[in-house]
Amino acid sequence: MPKDKIDGIQLFCLMVLFMFGTAVFLDLGSGARQDAWIVTILSPIAGLAIFAVYYRLYRQHPDLPLTEYVKKILGRYLGSLISYMYIIYFIYIASRVLRDVEELLISSPYAKTSIMTLGICMVFALIYAVHLGFEVFARAGIICFAVMTVTLLLILIFYVISDLIHLENLRPVLANGWKPVIGEIFPVNMTVPYGELVLFTMILPLMKRKTKILKTGSMAIAYVGIYLTINTIILICILGADLLERSAFPALAAVGYIEIGGFIQRLDPFIILLIVFLGFIKVGMFFYCAVIGMNNLFKMKPNVFTSYFMGGIICLSSIMIAPSYQSHLDEGLKVVPYFQHIAFQFAIPAVLLVLASIQCKWKLGKV
């Protein structure tokens, strides 16, 4: 592992920024229509259970990332194969998030700019950030967290002042029963953003102090769950269930309605800037962990070539991943959660935890 170290505050900020990622502007739980807020308030409970599994794995091997201790649990050959699969998984999710940011930018402020140009610019910035080291990245995360918190708080206040909140849009509650809500929670809203915390199995060994990690992670999940619930309620109240379900970027649509005294209006750039910040953090973390995993797997020292190689793959994949944004969304909602997220976020970590526990008891002579 690299010598970079982070503390508890940096871990909290990075976890919140990472989970917000693209989740803060996508239509989470919109399939449940006006009950989408129930989806966002229940999903963190599953998120806490998922993170507990990752934490238990970390406790078994506190100084090793996932791509290293999987080889100790499954053996050299099978473990190396699983490590390689996780590296590909990190690259793939980084590409998907980058595509989300690219599509947002070309849909509004950069309508005449090609996706390739935006992707190249962002990837070069990511390569520079990864080259500086994760400790620098984490310190920048604290600044981004402060900017994000102030911006989101101001926007929530502007929604209220603009008299855009219509609580009647939340009714009727559970008109179609619990089935749509449960269908939205599993697997889509469990996997994004909470299941994606599997990435932190690569980052937790960087902690300066090994205590209170579970508490810090739980607080971050609760913070994100509460905000996403409030945000979803407000979006439903402003847009209504129908427009929320149809809109590709509901947060961007809702902020367009803000108008205070004919002076405060057109706040779209603030949302776009915020999304770029969050997308940069999320892609950067997947990028960093893919690079570290690749270096560990192939026994290479940290070098610029690996970063450029990985950045090129992520940039090209973000463009080739789908022919249109609608097909990109369909793939992300109907294919990826079932065929990738369940395996990499739930199944493999659960099996690893069971095997690691058996191995531990075997060494202690309890089996």
- Is the pLDDT at 215 greater than 80? The verdict is yes
Mean pLDDT of 208-230: 91
pLDDT score recorded for residue 4: 73
Judge whether 2 lies within some domain. Answer: no
- Domain with 85 in it: what CATH number? 1.20.1740.10
pLDDT exceeds cutoff 80 at 210: no
Residue 122, pLDDT score = 92
Residue 173 domain-assigned (yes or no):
yes
Please check whether residue 1 lies inside any domain of the structure: no
What is the rounded distance in angstroms from the CA atom of residue 361 to the CA atom of residue 367?
6
Q: Does residue 261 have a pLDDT over 70?
A: yes
Its domain, for residue 193, covers 8-363
User: Please, which pLDDT band fits residue 365 given cuts at 50, 70 and 90?
Assistant: low
The answer as to whether 254 is a domain residue is: yes
**Cβ neighbours of residue 316 closer than 8 Å, sequence gap 6 or more:** none
pLDDT digits (tens, 9 = 90+) for 192-209: 899 999 999 999 999 987
Q: In this model, does residue 24 exceed pLDDT 80?
A: no
Q: Can you spell out the DSSP letters for 350-363?
A: HHHHHHHHHHHHHH
Q: What percentage of residues in the chain have a pLDDT greater than 90?
A: 55
Mean pLDDT of the chain: 89
Quote the pLDDT of residue 209. 77
Structural domain includes residue 251: yes
Q: Does 99 map to a domain?
A: yes
Stronger pLDDT, 277 or 53, i.e. the higher one:
53
Domain membership flag for residue 42: yes
Q: Is residue 3 part of a domain?
A: no
Provide the domain count of the chain: 1
Say what the pLDDT of residue 367 is: 52
Q: How far is CA 84 from the centre of its chain?
A: 21
Q: Which amino acid is at 148?
A: M
